[in-house]
Amino acid sequence: MVGGGPGSFIGPVHRMAAELDGRIRLVAGAFSRDGGRNAQAARAWGVAADRTYGDYRQMLAAEPARTDGAELAAVVTPNHLHFEVSAAALKAGLHVMSDKPATLDLAEARELAGVVASSGRLYGLTHVYTGYPMVREAREIVRRGDLGAVRKIVVEYAQGWLSRPIEQDGDRQAGWRADPAQAGVGGCIGDIGTHAFNLVEFVGGARVTALCADLAAVVPGRVLDDDCNMLLRFAGGARGVLIASQISAGARNGLNIKVYGEKGGLTWSHERHSELVVDWLDAPTQVLHAGSAYLSATARTASRIPTGHPEGFIEAFANLYRDFADAIVAGRSDTGLVPGVAEGLRGMAFVETAVAASRAGLGWVPLEEAA
Ligand SMILES: NC(=O)c1ccc[n+]([C@@H]2O[C@H](COP(=O)([O-])OP(=O)(O)OC[C@H]3O[C@@H](n4cnc5c(N)ncnc54)[C@H](O)[C@@H]3O)[C@@H](O)[C@H]2O)c1
């Protein structure tokens, strides 16, 4: 693991998720640039002192030389390090599971795609919402054509935790997210807009071909966007709306997606993530529940315990790690349902296109194929 020091958000989630099914074990890490904090994380997680490295480069030099060396690197640092750590790990012969966004900018994402291709290793991107059972069921329903042709998709990702300039008061997680050198050209759009965009394409089944973006830095003093509103057009003719906001005061982690087809629509809401509501034009509404026998195989296998027993964020994350472990063990060249470098490229193209178009007031712009 690179990153994930004491007090960090997502590193500990990766550790729990990766280890949940007994397929992956944390054996080495460069958890923090601070020696004391690095050692503290290693002790807490039972990583041997001689496999706790002060710098990720030392780790990538030492681990491949061991007979029991690490095979998979989890990249859980702030955004500006995703590319250099992921590329170095792939070149050192490790598979990579990186957190999003894939890179700092689109140029890096293109370079990363080249490194992935030439490495012969697998690259996964933890767009965790794709790991929820009922998101996978929603995707299946759309793919089966139950709703008929998709006409409209609405996704909203609302958070309120950046409603005040807490980055100016020393909040660590807000601090790097508000700094273009560490976050990239996008603020909210890179941080959570990429999740919403990935979810729209994962569930909706069609690519976004054009967008009309209005991004704002609402909180005074902020350089990067904290509120994003946009219209979307999809291949196949569907239209959509994407909202991502970190100044929606009072909102916690409100991710909602609605997909409307000719015959009905479905709604998934992160705050009731074990349910999927399907509304029919000519029939009563259905509420499907995670863990139920009537779900598709992909959704059923994404639950570990019987219906009605709460699972959540860590288990969804664990589904990505379990699928990734399956792909590695089987020697596959694709990551299956786990987002990969192609999705990383799409995400970075989305961020750069929307930020540039909004700044220049361009209105509708095409979202080019990134690869
Ligand atoms: N998939 C998700 O749902 C999700 C959720 C939250 C964050 N994230 C992503 O995860 C990444 C980390 O976010 P976070 O909220 O955990 O940030 P954080 O600030 O809480 O943690 C970052 C960690 O990286 C460490 N770090 C920084 N530079 C390092 C280096 N050179 N070597 C080793 N460690 C280093 C820091 O010490 C810290 O422990 C971001 O890219 C973010 O976008 C994803």
Residue 39 pLDDT greater than 50, yes or no: yes
Whether 56 and 147 share a structural domain: no
Q: Give 32's contacts (C-beta < 8 A, 6+ positions apart).
A: 3, 5, 6, 38, 41
Whether 141 and 114 share a structural domain: no
Final residue belonging to a domain, choices 128, 160, 177: 128
Whether 109 and 175 share a structural domain: no
Mean pLDDT for 133-162 is 98
Tell whether ligand 1 has an atom less than 6 A from the beta carbon of residue 40.
no
Asked if the bond preceding 101 is cis, omega within 30° of 0, the reply is yes
The span from the CA of 131 to the CA of 129, in Å, is: 5
**DSSP3 helix / strand / coil % (the chain, rounded to 5):** 40, 20, 40
Atom of ligand 1 nearest to the CA of 82: 41
**Collapsed DSSP state (helix, strand, coil) of residue 362:** coil
The pLDDT score that the predictor gives to residue 370 is: 54
Whether 146 and 230 share a structural domain: yes
Whether 240 and 346 share a structural domain: yes
CB 246 within 8 A of CB 226: yes
Tell whether ligand 1 has an atom less than 6 A from the beta carbon of residue 10.
yes
pTM higher than 0.85: yes
Tell whether ligand 1 has an atom less than 6 A from the beta carbon of residue 8.
yes
Q: Comparing C-alpha atoms, which of 185, 196, 206 is closest to residue 103?
A: 185
Residue 167 pLDDT greater than 90, yes or no: yes
Residue 36 included in any domain: yes
Tell whether ligand 1 has an atom less than 6 A from the beta carbon of residue 344.
no
Mean pLDDT for 228-252 is 98
Residue 308 included in any domain: no
Residue 367 included in any domain: no
Whether 347 and 216 share a structural domain: yes
CB 52 within 8 A of CB 24: no
Print the SS3 string covering 294-360.
Answer: CCCHHHHCCCCCCCCCCCCHHHHHHHHHHHHHHHHHCCCCCCCCCCCHHHHHHHHHHHHHHHHHHHH
**What proportion of the chain, given as a percentage, has pLDDT over 90?**
99
Question: The domain containing residue 231 runs over which residues?
Answer: 132-303+340-360
To the nearest 10 degrees (0 to 180), the angle between helices 313-329 and 10-19 is 60
Residue 169 is classified by DSSP as G
Residue 371 included in any domain: no
Q: Give 304's contacts (C-beta < 8 A, 6+ positions apart).
A: 311, 315
Average pLDDT, the chain: 97
- For tokens 């702030």, the residue is 78
Final residue belonging to a domain, choices 102, 128, 154: 128
CB 182 within 8 A of CB 348: no
CATH code, domain with 38: 3.40.50.720
Q: Distance from the CA of 37 to the center of ligand 1, in angstroms?
A: 14
Q: Comparing C-alpha atoms, which of 223, 167, 146, 179 is closest to residue 79?
A: 179
Burial class (CB in 10 A: 0-12, 13-18, 19+), 110: middle
Residue 371 pLDDT greater than 50, yes or no: no
Residue 168 pLDDT greater than 60, yes or no: yes
Ligand 1 pocket mutation pick from 31, 75, 77 by most atoms within 8 angstroms of CB? 77
Mean pLDDT for 146-164 is 98
- Categorize the per-residue pLDDT at 368 as very low, low, confident or very high, splitting at 50, 70 and 90: confident
Atom of ligand 1 nearest to the CA of 317: 1
Whether 158 and 79 share a structural domain: no
Q: Which residue's alpha carbon is nearest to atom 25 within ligand 1? A: 3
Atom of ligand 1 nearest to the CA of 173: 19
The pLDDT score that the predictor gives to residue 176 is: 98
Whether 112 and 157 share a structural domain: no
- Count of structural domains within the chain: 2
Residue 286 included in any domain: yes
Whether 37 and 151 share a structural domain: no
Whether 224 and 253 share a structural domain: yes
Atom of ligand 1 nearest to the CA of 175: 19
Whether 153 and 289 share a structural domain: yes
The pLDDT score that the predictor gives to residue 76 is: 98
Residue 314 included in any domain: no
Ligand 1 pocket mutation pick from 16, 32, 38, 159 by most atoms within 8 angstroms of CB? 32
Q: Which two tokens stand for residue 292?
A: 């139920």
Residue 329 included in any domain: no
Tell whether ligand 1 has an atom less than 6 A from the beta carbon of residue 77.
yes
Final residue belonging to a domain, choices 66, 97, 128: 128
The span from the CA of 98 to the CA of 293, in Å, is: 32
Query: pLDDT for 263-278, tens place per residue?
Result: 999 999 999 999 999 9
Residue 231 pLDDT greater than 70, yes or no: yes
Ligand 1 pocket mutation pick from 1, 10, 195, 199 by most atoms within 8 angstroms of CB? 10
Q: Distance from the CA of 293 to the center of ligand 1, in angstroms?
A: 37
Residue 368 included in any domain: no
Whether 42 and 91 share a structural domain: yes
The pLDDT score that the predictor gives to residue 51 is: 98
Residue 183 pLDDT greater than 50, yes or no: yes
Tell whether ligand 1 has an atom less than 6 A from the beta carbon of residue 9.
yes
